[in-house]
């Protein structure tokens, strides 16, 4: 079978669930938490993983990161502030998030503005990470070109040795959290015959308005 035949034959029918206005909480954050809890109970691996899309010179760029908190209605993830995404957010604060929870045949899309969180929040979270992850964050110049795996290992080893006597590792200033304040969310539930349910929340005058979109 050719790759195209294999691709053409890949087809599943979505019929596990449905979504209507009556199922949706007036608050999209409550609705997100409800679906997130259901994804935790399902067979989803890493349900907190989402595709973060940013803009780089008018071109979209996406990569996976992990949701690590929801604070006052804002979605929080952590990264390297000097990474490609860090520079892109610096230039354009508008980002989108896409969650895919396939076992539930669900997708959630969120759009909003990303800003750095207060340093105390990043400090707190940094201290909760395993030591190896902390050293990795200190040592790795995320998104920069490196000559080899060996160069990376040496960077890690150097940082590890330097900090050997420190029980508590200080958060490097180049690493921390971003919070995304949403103004648009879409909850997508797969349905039969590709007649999926799509309910969107749009913010206007501090109120959330719900609408249904065609699949």
Ligand X SMILES: Cc1cc2nc3c(=O)[nH]c(=O)nc-3n(C[C@H](O)[C@H](O)[C@H](O)COP(=O)(O)O)c2cc1C
The C-alpha atoms of residue 67 and residue 161 are separated, in whole angstroms, by: 31
Chain residues binding ligand X by CB under 6 A are: 46, 49, 63-66, 77-80, 83-85, 142-143
Minimum distance of ligand X from residue 177's CB (angstroms):
10
Selected catalytic residue, list 11, 59, 149, 194: 194
Q: Which residues contact 81 (CB under 8 A, 6 or more apart)?
A: 116, 173, 174, 175, 176
CB closer to ligand X, 98 vs 143: 143
Which pair of tokens denotes residue 212?
């249904």
Least Cα distance to 64 among 55, 51, 74 occurs for 51
Minimum distance of ligand X from residue 86's CB (angstroms):
7
- Please indicate whether residue 194 is annotated as part of the active site: yes
Q: Which residue bears the tokens 């940082």?
A: 159
Are the C-beta atoms of 93 and 115 separated by less than 8 Å?
yes
Which of left, alpha, beta for 205 (phi over 0: left; psi -120 to 50: alpha)?
left
Q: First and final CA of the chain: distance in angstroms?
A: 31
Minimum distance of ligand X from residue 112's CB (angstroms):
17
23 SS3 class: helix
Minimum distance of ligand X from residue 69's CB (angstroms):
12
Minimum distance of ligand X from residue 99's CB (angstroms):
12
CB closer to ligand X, 16 vs 131: 131
CB closer to ligand X, 35 vs 175: 175
Exposed (0-12), middle (13-18) or buried (19+): which is 98, by Cβ within 10 Å? middle
CB closer to ligand X, 14 vs 178: 178
CB closer to ligand X, 113 vs 198: 113
A 10 A CB-CB count for 58 gives: 6
**Catalytic residues, which ones?**
194
């Amino acid at each position: 079978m050719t790759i195209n035949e294999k691709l053409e034959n890949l087809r599943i029918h979505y019929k596990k669930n449905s979504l209507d206005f009556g199922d949706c909480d007036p608050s999209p954050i409550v609705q997100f938490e409800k679906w997130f809890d259901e994804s935790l109970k399902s067979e989803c691996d890493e349900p907190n993983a989402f595709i973060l899309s940013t803009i780089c010179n008018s071109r979209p760029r996406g990569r996976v990161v992990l949701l690590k908190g929801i604070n006052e209605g804002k979605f929080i993830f952590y990264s390297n502030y000097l990474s490609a995404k860090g520079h892109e957010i610096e230039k354009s604060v508008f980002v989108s998030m896409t969650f895919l929870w396939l076992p539930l045949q669900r997708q959630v899309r969120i759009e909003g503005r990303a800003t750095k969180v207060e340093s105390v929040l990043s400090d707190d979270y940094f201290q909760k990470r395993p030591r190896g992850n902390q050293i990795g964050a200190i040592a790795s110049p995320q998104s920069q070109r490196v000559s080899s795996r060996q160069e990376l290992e040496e960077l890690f080893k150097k940082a590890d040795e330097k900090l050997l006597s420190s029980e508590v590792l200080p958060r490097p200033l180049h690493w921390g959290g971003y919070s995304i304040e949403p103004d648009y969310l879409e909850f997508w539930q797969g349905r039969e015959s590709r007649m999926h349910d799509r309910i969107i929340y749009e913010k206007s005058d501090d109120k959330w308005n719900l609408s249904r979109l065609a699949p």
